[in-house]
Amino acid sequence: MSLLLRYREVILALIIALMVLGISLYAPPFGTLSNGVGVLNDTAFLFMMALAQMIVILTRGIDLSVAANLALTGMLTGMFNMVFPDLPAPLYVALALLIGGGLGLINGSLIAFLRIPPIVVTLGTLAIFRGMIVVVDGGSQVNTSDMSSTFAGFPKLELFGLSSVFWIAAIVAVLAWFFLGQTRSGRGLYAVGGNPVAARYCGISLPFQQMLAYGISGAVAGMSGYLWVARYGVAYVEIASGYELTVIAACVIGGVSIGGGVGTVAGTLLGALFIGVIVNALPVMQVSPFWQMAISGAVILAAVIINARAEGRALKLILPEARRAAAQAKR
């Protein structure tokens, strides 16, 4: 099984490589190193948000509130910065992690302790978080002119040409890889998603794993909120509207099973990169940006259907399986 999974990620990487090659032949500026750096910088938010979403989906959950969380936390840190300007940037990051994580834990406790289905909870908190932005700021905006230099400058810092947002995403990826692969609670996420009953018998606590997953999802969304607001220089109610579906799409393309228990860090990163390449290729190919949505829709469908073929169709085989079982029972 793990061989097959690895195989699938290699395939996805090859498809992305072919796509980049094809686009570069058609539009040579796309193949340059500086453009590649640009794509990575641009996709940085999607990398970390998709990883956080994967952690939730692993537990058979879904977090639709991430984009609203991003917008609310971004607004709150922006307003905090207006009151306390010129604090060191890591403090803003820490604050955003705390606020976002707190919002995520609200989701988590409703799901873990009241056992309300995740899609219901996060659908509700999506509306609540998004609306709270207007409630806290009275419908105004936070603009670049309101932001202090440490606040706004941090996401624009560069190392080897790559922005600090990208490096943070890279750290998130390494942490996610270590956490999911090497720690007890990380493996527990796969266990509760793969087989909740068996996980329970192994002494893995479902509520704990759920709190963990939604807390992480919220914290990453919150941190992205600060970075997003500071990088694009504006916080208002509509930022990242609908972004949760792009994030989920990245997971799905990356081979994360919506049924829980299946998904890898590498696959999710490739899924995000796939979307990032398409989004960035359209302007270079002088295709109207209006195409972006239609193309990503078609790509999602193609990717999931190919993935489903690879996984085989267990459900379709019910009757033949039953017949075989009956035949064996006779013998």
Partner 1 sequence: MSDPSIHAPSSRYTVADHAPRKISAILLRWESILVMMLAAVIIGNTLKSPYFLDPFNLADATYNFSEKAIMALIMALLILVREIDLSVAAIVALSSLAIGYMGAAGYGPVPLIATGLAVGMVCGAFNGFLVTRSGVPSIVITIGTMSLYRGIAQVSLGDQALTTYPQHYLDLGQSYLFDWPPTPLSFFLFLLLAACFAVFLHKTAAGRQLFAIGANPVAARFSGIRVDRIRLILFTISGLLAGLGAVLLTARIGVMRPNIALGWELDIITMVILGGVAISGGVGTIGGVVLAVFVLGLATFGLALMNVPGIVINVLLGLLLIVSIAAPIVIRGQSGRR
CB-wise, 17 or 293, nearer to partner 1?
Answer: 293
CB-wise, 160 or 290, nearer to partner 1?
Answer: 290
Site for partner 1 in 179-238 (CB under 8 A): 237
- Report, in Å, the least distance between residue 239 CB and partner 1: 14
- Report, in Å, the least distance between residue 43 CB and partner 1: 17
Give dist(CA 56, CA 215) in Å, integer.
9
Contact present, 272 and 46 (Cβ < 8 Å):
yes
The residue from 297, 310, 323, 324 that contacts partner 1 (CB under 8 A) is 297
Q: Does 83 bind partner 1 (CB under 8 A)?
A: no
Contact present, 92 and 294 (Cβ < 8 Å):
no
Question: Cβ contacts of residue 325 below 8 Å, gap of 6+?
Answer: none
Contact present, 209 and 185 (Cβ < 8 Å):
yes
For tokens 């609203």, the residue is 68
Q: Give the SS3 label for residue 101.
A: helix
- Report, in Å, the least distance between residue 271 CB and partner 1: 12
Q: Does 103 bind partner 1 (CB under 8 A)?
A: no
The residue from 291, 310, 323, 324 that contacts partner 1 (CB under 8 A) is 291
CA proximity to 298, closest of 237, 236, 253, 234: 253
Q: Give the SS3 label for residue 218.
A: helix
Please choose, out of 28-36, 162-170, 278-286, 291-299, the segment that lies near partner 1 by the rule CB under 8 A.
Answer: 291-299
Q: Does 10 bind partner 1 (CB under 8 A)?
A: no
Q: 300 to each of 59, 66, 240, 245, how far by Cα in Å?
A: 22, 20, 20, 11
- Report, in Å, the least distance between residue 3 CB and partner 1: 22
- Report, in Å, the least distance between residue 139 CB and partner 1: 7
Give dist(CA 299, CA 322) in Å, integer.
35
Token duo for residue 133: 């932005």
**DSSP label of 46:** H
- Report, in Å, the least distance between residue 257 CB and partner 1: 9
- Report, in Å, the least distance between residue 126 CB and partner 1: 7
CB-wise, 34 or 139, nearer to partner 1?
Answer: 139
Give dist(CA 271, CA 5) in Å, integer.
14
Contact present, 260 and 59 (Cβ < 8 Å):
yes
Q: Does 82 bind partner 1 (CB under 8 A)?
A: no
Site for partner 1 in 241-260 (CB under 8 A): 242, 245, 248-249, 252, 258-259
- Report, in Å, the least distance between residue 37 CB and partner 1: 27
Q: Give the SS3 label for residue 115.
A: coil
CA proximity to 101, closest of 50, 61, 138, 63: 63
Site for partner 1 in 112-151 (CB under 8 A): 113-117, 119-121, 123-128, 130-135, 139
For binding to partner 1 (CB under 8 A), which residues are involved?
62, 110, 113-117, 119-121, 123-128, 130-135, 139, 237, 242, 245, 248-249, 252, 258-259, 288, 290-298, 300-301, 304-305, 307-309, 313-316, 318-319, 322
